[in-house]
Structure 1
Amino acid sequence: MPTTTDLTSADLSEIRQSALGAADPLGVAAELAAAADSGRLADPQDAGYALALAAEIAESRSKLDAALRYADRAVEAYGDRDDSGATSARALRARVLFRAGRADEAIAALEPLRPALTRHSDAAAYIGAALAAGGRNRVAEEWLTEAVRAVLDERAAAGQTADPSSADEAGLLFFLLQQRHRTRHALGLPHDVHDNLADRLENRLAAARTTTAEDELVFWPQAEFTTVVTRWPALTEVYGATWDDHRAQLEQRLTRRGGTPSLLPGVADDLARFAGIGGTADAATRSGYARSLAAGTGLIAWPPARNDACWCGSGAKYKKCCLPRAR
Structure 2
Amino acid sequence: MPKDVITSADLAELRRTALGTANPLGVAADLADAVEQGRLADPDDAGDALALAAEIAEVRARLDAALRYADRAVAAYPSTDDVRAGFARALRARIMFRTGGREDEAMAELAALRPLLTEQPEAPSYVSAALDAGGRSATADEWLSEAVDTLLGERATAAEAPERAGTAAEPAVEVGPPEAPGVLFFLLQQRHRVRRNLNLPHDRHDDLADRVEAQLVRRAEQRQATEPDLIFFPRPEFDRLLAEHPELTEVYGPDWDEHRARLEKQLVRLANAGRGGLSVLTGSVDGLNSFASRNSGEPGDAGIRERYARERSAQPDAHIPWPPERNDACWCGSGLKYKKDCLPRSRS
Partner residue, 2:247: none
Aligned equivalent of 1:181, options 192, 215, 222: 192
- The Cα of 1:162 is off from its aligned counterpart by 3.7
Which structure 2 residues correspond to residues 123-138 of structure 1 after superposition, within 5 A? 123-138=123-138
Mapped partners of 1:190, 1:318: distance in 2: 42
1-structure distance, mates of 2:218, 2:329: 36
How far did 1:312 drift?
3.8
Q: CA deviation at 1:275?
A: 12
Quote the offset at 1:16 in angstroms. Answer: 1.2
For 1:141-290, list aligned pairs within 5 A: 141-156=141-156, 162-164=171-173, 168=177, 171-208=182-219, 223-228=258-263, 233=266, 235-238=267-270, 265-266=282-283, 277=302, 288-290=311-313
Deviates more, 1:64-73 or 1:145-154: 145-154
Instruction: Give distance in 2, aligned partners of 1:148 and 1:103.
Output: 26
1:139 aligned residue: 139
What is the deviation of 1:89? Answer: 0.1
* Higher normalized contact order (CA 8 Å, seq sep 6+, divided by chain length): 2
Q: Does the 8 Å contact 2:192/2:206 carry over to 1?
A: yes
Question: In the aligned structure 2, how far is the partner of 1:318 from the partner of 1:148?
Answer: 39
Shift of 1:84: 1.1
1:316 to 308, 313, 336: 336
Partner-residue secondary structure (3-state), 1:121: coil
In the superposition, the TM-score normalised over structure 1's length comes to 0.70
Task: Return the alpha-carbon distance in structure 1 between the equivalents of residues 9 and 341 of structure 2.
Answer: 19
Taking only the aligned residue pairs, the percentage that are identical comes to 52
Q: Which of these two proteins has the greater Rg computed from alpha carbons?
A: 2
Deviation string 1:162-218 (CA, Å, 9 cap, x unpaired) is 43366746522111001111212222322332211111112223444559xx99xx8
Distance in 2, Cα, partners of 1:129 & 1:185:
14
> Structure 2: which amino acid aligns with 1:130?
A
Shift of the alpha carbon at 1:43? 2.3
**TM-score, structure 2 normalization:** 0.67
Work out whether residues 28 and 54 of structure 1, in 8 Å CA contact, stay in contact via their aligned partners in 2.
yes
What letter matches 1:163 in structure 2? Answer: A
Structure 1 residues 267 and 145 mapped into 2: Cα distance closer, same or farther (>3 Å)?
A: farther
| Matched-pair contact (CA < 8 Å) for 2:281–2:312 | no
SS of the residue 1:33 aligns to: helix
The match for 1:257 is none
Quote the Cα distance in structure 1 between the aligned partners of 2:301 and 2:105: 57
Whether the 8 Å contact between 1:224 and 1:266 is mirrored in structure 2 is no
State the alpha-carbon separation in 2 of the partners of residues 320 and 140 from structure 1: 38
1:23-57 deviations in Å (ceiling 9; x for gaps): 21111111110111011122222211111110001
| Cα distance in structure 2, aligned partners of 1:123 and 1:31 | 28
